[in-house]
Structure 1
Amino acid sequence: MLASLTTMMSHGFKNSKQDFSFGPWRVTATKNHIMKSKDIERLADEMNMPALPEMLFGDNVLRIQHGEGYGIEFNAIDALRRVSNMNDAVKVACAQEWQESRTDSELSKDVIRPYDWTYTTDYRGTLIGEGMQIKVTETTDRIDMEKLKAREHIMFFDEVLLFEDELHDHGVSMLSVKIRVMPTSFFLLLRFFLRVDGVLIRINDTRLYHEAGKEYMLREFSTRESKIAELKGVPAALYTDHNEIAQHLPLKETKCEKLELPLTQLPTTDDEVVH
């Protein structure tokens, strides 16, 4: 097992890159400064969106790559490309409710636009690899969360923020990813957290688990959400703590997948596929 850390300063932000080897896998966590405004504007035009998150870390990435070249990574730009791919019914209803509750506020007129201003994404990672690709299939297998609760030495841990927006001071929209590596496995959590003050709280989680020696990873995607008016008996102080409030949000959707590792060289012309 090997860990290395390099740091540098740029534009007032602390940049870092951490690498950790776990058997044939290399985990890389890269943190960089916020994208410059001109680059954000150019990206917004490319995505046909009037605006992107205020704090967009376009160069931040958490990558898990096998020695053969294939793997999976998590980055902000691919996540934003998945915005608006989910059911919009709740989003639109909440936008109207939010606007009506702030009829005297000029801010509401700026925020309610013909796009998903919450930046809700169902992103579950980007498959990488030239010539060899991980195969994704639906499965009934589940990640053994009880096993993950066992006290096991954590050899490596890191968390990478991909984007954050304060929704014109009326809430927060945030995407981050963290990973921990134990002697026999690694576990990753990608979390999208949305809080629209007085209206809605939503959490989209992607969990990824791999045991050493297994020929697959397990990936689980889930959506939990609730209108704030329906959170009866839940202290308002918990609304800003995504770890605490997640326990009080009803489960709306779940999807379990098996990411089968390639055993032989497979011809392909695509370098990466977003799922």
Structure 2
Amino acid sequence: MATEELATDETILNIKRLPVTSEEFPFNEWLIKYEQSHILHSQCSKKGACNSCTNINDRCLFCQYTSQLELPHLPDMVFPNNILLLKHKSGCELKFNALDALQRVSNGKLNLQVDVAEAWQEARPGTNLDNRAKKFDWTFTTDYMGTMSNDFIEEDTSERIDIEKLKQREKILFFHELSLYEDELHDHGIASLNVKIRVMPSSFFILLRYFLRVDNVMARINDTRIYYEVGSPYLLREYTSKQADYKDLSLPIAIYTDPSQLAQYLTLKSSNYKKIIIPGAS
């Protein structure tokens, strides 16, 4: 036991020594920045000392997450230091992080995933889900669309992102992709959330994608697309949720592992389209 505890302590120390990579990129009226580092510890890195911390910011990241999330357990891999931040000269901010995304996961109040859990259990008779697991969304599905400062103004719009324009060849000034969390669903699929940004001379484009594949049961893709064109006083944000059961699909196995290809075969379940007005922009 002592040897196992020592190994765990050494692992935590090694993780804490890993550097946080960051980069800033000024673009037009924006400052784009990302930070990237290691996965979340699997236990308190202060050996339980966080229990006496009244200020949540004084707790280790693991304890900050567990105290703010009403989930029986977290995804296999959570990246608490992976953050994409966009700050406009007006002071308004748009960011993407794992904690805010996981706060959108059902914690048992809605029981959204019970039917899927039962179907998964039938497809995998050797897998046991206890009652607590059935009361929350064990697929970690989130409808997170990013975290906006309060000074942005949202309004419905009929305007759409010009995908054909995005397909045109234009120099890429900046590109980065971050994983926010991932879970392999006990080796029976995958649930992942990642965000990537591409900056061109005329615009920037962000894709935040939640991808779920429960083997032999179902697939789901929740996409948030955000587009900004230089000189525009607003951003366009499009959210779509698509889903299909395996019994309704007959596709090559390789497509099930590629969300970009799979998305075109899934059924649109919900969507919303917003114009995000930038305060003070002309």
**Which bracket does the TM-score occupy, shorter chain normalised?**
0.7 to 0.9
Are 2:82 and 1:60 aligned? yes
- 1:190 has 2:208 as partner: yes
1:252 alignment partner, one of 254, 263, 269: 269
State the distance in 2 between where 1:162 and 1:174 align.
Answer: 8
Instruction: Please name the residue that 2:31 is paired with.
Output: 26
Q: Work out whether residues 93 and 148 of structure 2, in 8 Å CA contact, stay in contact via their aligned partners in 1.
A: yes
1:186, CA displacement in angstroms?
0.3
Deviation at residue 91 of structure 1 after TM alignment? 2.7
> Which residue of the other structure, out of 99, 105, 112, is the alignment partner of 1:77?
99
For 1:124, the equivalent position in structure 2 comes to 145
Map of 1:135 onto structure 2 = 153
What is the aligned partner in structure 2 of residue 177 from structure 1? 195
Please state how far the C-alpha of 1:10 moved relative to its aligned partner: 5.4
Shift of 1:120: 0.4
- In structure 1, the gaps of 5 or more residues are 1-8, 265-275
For 1:168, what is the secondary structure of its paired residue? helix
Q: Which of 11, 20, 29 lines up with 1:15 in the alignment?
A: 20
Q: CA deviation at 1:102?
A: 2.5
Whole-angstrom distance in 2 between the partners of 1:81 and 1:147: 34
Q: Is the 8 A contact 1:172 1:195 kept in 2?
A: yes
> How far did residue 110 of structure 1 move?
8.5
* Structure 2 contact 195–209 (Cα < 8 Å) conserved: yes
Cα pair distance change 1:243/1:88, threshold 3 Å: farther
2:256 aligned partner: 239
Aligned to 1:36: 41
Where does residue 5 of structure 1 map in the other structure? none
| 2-structure distance, mates of 1:93, 1:110 | 13
**Residue of structure 2 equivalent to 1:229:** 247
Aligned AA for 2:140?
Y
- RMSD after superposition: 2.3
Q: Which residue of 2 aligns with 1:269?
A: none
- Deviations along 1:10-56, one digit per CA (max 9) or x if unpaired, are 55756311211111101111111111122435523432211111110
Residue 98 of structure 1 corresponds to: 120
Distance 1:14 1:250, change over 3 A: farther
Q: Contact 1:72/1:126 (CA < 8 Å) preserved in 2?
A: yes
Q: 1: distance between equivalents of 2:227 and 2:270?
A: 19
* Secondary structure in 1 matching 2:190: strand
- Matches of 1:79 and 1:238 in 2, distance apart? 26
Q: Give the Cα–Cα distance (whole angstroms) in 2 for the partners of residues 112 and 137 of structure 1.
A: 37
Which residue identity does 1:161 align to in structure 2? Answer: S
2:135 matched to 1:114? Answer: yes
CA distance 1:89–1:146, change in 2 (3 Å): farther
Task: Provide, for residues 119-176 of structure 1, a one-character-per-residue CA deviation record: whole Å limited to 9, x for no partner.
Answer: 10000111137xxx11011111110111111111111000011000111111111000
**Structure with the bigger percentage of helix:** 2
Query: Rg: which structure is higher?
Result: 2
Query: Does structure 2 retain, via aligned residues, the 8 Å contact 1:99–1:109?
Result: no
- In structure 2, C-alpha distance between the alignment counterparts of 1:45 and 1:242, rounded to whole Å: 32
Mapped to 2, the partners of 1:13 and 1:201 lie a distance apart of 34
Q: Among 177, 180, 203, which residue is 1:159 paired with?
A: 177
Q: Give identity over the alignment, percent.
A: 44
Task: Say if 1:205 and 1:221, in contact at 8 Å, map to a contact too.
Answer: yes
- Bigger strand fraction: 1
